[in-house]
Amino acid sequence: MPTSRPNRQRTLALLPGLGGSLTDLANHGQLDRLLSYYLPAYLEHFARVRYFSYAPESVADFTADAELLRRLEVVAPRRSVPRRLRALQLGLGPGRGALRECGLARALHAPGALPALLAGVPYACTYGYFYDALTGVSAPGPLRPPVRAAKAALVRAALRLLLGRAARVIVTSGAVEAEARRLGAARVWRIPNGVDVDLFAPSSGRTAGRRYDVVFVGRLSPEKDLATLVAAAARLQPRPRLCLVGDGPERAAVEAAAAAAGVPADLPGLVEQRALPEVLASARCFVLPSRTEGHPKALIEALAAGLPCIASDIGAHRELAGAGAVLTFPAGDAAALAARLQQVLADDRLARGLASAGRALACRDYDLRRLVADEARRLADLAAAATGAAPGARAGPG
């Protein structure tokens, strides 16, 4: 629990998604992104950051960095509790005081802003993907139509409330912004997902070690539509070798489909962020066959790494394809994806052109350090305005 009562404008609250924690980020290979990029940028403008966790944990469990140990505080329960109960504790119960001592809350996902809404703390939240699709509202499933309709109405009502009350809604793409505005977001910042363009960079010295024809990185779940990728690979001779990085509910089904189709596929599971460049360098091209995306970070990482990329023709991918950096195919069309794969794998000149255009686009528009620094400056000004301080005042370490 908090050990001192900080100046509100100088303290930023970080709210994960409902049920989220540093442990969860570590388990999914995403903790380094927070510790190495976002927190240093936030601490350029805020004296301290409080992370409101849903799991029993402490800062010392994840870092030995003296600066983070001093300026990052984890407000965590003593024991595991259901996520909805924890959200209520933070917004209305024992955690409310610690949250209200913060000048601004930064919710990493829109539903995670619920404690700030309940506590009356101004907040900025990310609306980064289409929540109804990912919560099963619009995805195929066992729900009966009346239950599905009720769930859809509940999800959208909750999002309307959270987005409408937000001091700012951070969106990652034009398609997501349009959806957020339809749901009532009025104060919007568009800040796309970024990647470390130094970490994810082409390396000609590793091309000889390319063991795969195709790599995919992401959650192995229905919306990623890996069945179409497997079906497309099965149409080609010789069969391309796939590397499907990630984990999720579709893992066994994808593995079985690849085996049945005679498509060689490795499924290494989750890979740490800093190990991903080596995995990307082991393949000849990257494919993202998703039926829905918010703003595809994995695709941008592949572009930055200099891989020719193929992606389904959906809104989130069109912004990248419009720059000539991505080949697209109609979502769910295995024959069209097979034709794109044949093009890229057989035409070195085309592959090199895509790789060059992708790298240039990633460096120009998606440099993570630049994007995070811009976000941190905006949050500091927003906190100052919310607490009546002078905008542009830099909090410093204090």
Tens-place pLDDT, residues 200-240: 999 765 445 689 999 999 999 999 999 999 999 999 999 99
Judgement on whether residues 248 and 331 belong to the same structural domain of the protein: yes
SS (H, E, C) the chain: CCCCCCCHHHEEEEECCCCCCHHHHHHCCCHHHHHHHHHHHHCCCCCEEEEECCCCCCHHHCCCCHHHHHHEEEECCCCCCCHHHHHHHHHHCCCHHHHHCCCEEEECCHHHHHHHHHHCCCEEEEECCCHHHHCCCCCCCCCCHHHHHHHHHHHHHHHHHHHHHCCEEEECCHHHHHHHHHCCCCCEEECCCCECCCCCCCCHHHHHHCCEEEEEECCCCHHHCHHHHHHHHHCCCCCCCEEEECCCCCHHHHHHHHHHHCCCEEEEECCCHHHHHHHHHCEEEEEECCCCCCCCHHHHHHHHCCCCEEEECCHHHHHHHCCCCEEEECCCCHHHHHHHHHHHHHCHHHHHHHHHHHHHHHHHHCEHHHHHHHHHHHHHHHHHHHHCCCCCCCCCCC
pLDDT attached to residue 141: 55
CA pair distance 320, 305, nearest whole angstrom = 15
Tell me whether residue 393 is in a domain: no
CA pair distance 204, 161, nearest whole angstrom = 50
Judgement on whether residues 227 and 153 belong to the same structural domain of the protein: no
Tell me whether residue 251 is in a domain: yes
Tell me whether residue 1 is in a domain: no
- pLDDT higher than threshold 90 for residue 114: yes
**How far apart, in Å, are the Cα atoms of 233 and each of 277, 321, 382?**
23, 22, 49
Which of these, 382, 386, 393, lies nearest to 169 by C-alpha position?
Answer: 382
pLDDT-derived band at 3, boundaries 50, 70, 90: very low
Which of these, 208, 209, 251, lies nearest to 230 by C-alpha position?
Answer: 251
Judgement on whether residues 176 and 233 belong to the same structural domain of the protein: no
Averaged over 4-15, what is the pLDDT? 76
Sheet holding 72-75, edge to edge: 72-75, 48-52, 11-15, 104-107, 123-127, 168-171, 188-190
Judgement on whether residues 286 and 380 belong to the same structural domain of the protein: no
pLDDT attached to residue 154: 85
Judgement on whether residues 380 and 338 belong to the same structural domain of the protein: no
Two tokens, residue 34: 């927070």
179 Cβ contact partners less than 8 Å away, ≥ 6 residues apart = 127, 130
User: Domain of 226: which CATH number?
Assistant: 3.40.50.2000
Judgement on whether residues 47 and 180 belong to the same structural domain of the protein: yes
Which of these, 220, 213, 219, 215, lies nearest to 200 by C-alpha position?
Answer: 215
What's the whole-model pTM score?
0.86
Judgement on whether residues 211 and 120 belong to the same structural domain of the protein: no
Judgement on whether residues 134 and 260 belong to the same structural domain of the protein: no
pLDDT attached to residue 328: 97
Q: How many domains does the chain have?
A: 2
Judgement on whether residues 383 and 282 belong to the same structural domain of the protein: no
Judgement on whether residues 212 and 288 belong to the same structural domain of the protein: yes
pLDDT digits (tens, 9 = 90+) for 73-98: 999 999 999 999 999 999 999 889 99
Tell me whether residue 397 is in a domain: no
**How far apart, in Å, are the Cα atoms of 19 and each of 131, 293, 315, 324?**
16, 22, 29, 39
Tell me whether residue 26 is in a domain: yes
- Structural domain that includes position 67: 8-194+368-387
CA pair distance 80, 322, nearest whole angstrom = 46
pLDDT digits (tens, 9 = 90+) for 162-208: 999 999 999 998 888 999 999 999 999 999 999 999 999 997 654 45
Tell me whether residue 232 is in a domain: yes
Judgement on whether residues 231 and 178 belong to the same structural domain of the protein: no
pLDDT-derived band at 394, boundaries 50, 70, 90: low
- pLDDT higher than threshold 80 for residue 267: yes
- pLDDT higher than threshold 50 for residue 397: no
Judgement on whether residues 216 and 67 belong to the same structural domain of the protein: no
Tell me whether residue 392 is in a domain: no
- Dmax (CA) for the chain in angstroms is 66
Tell me whether residue 2 is in a domain: no
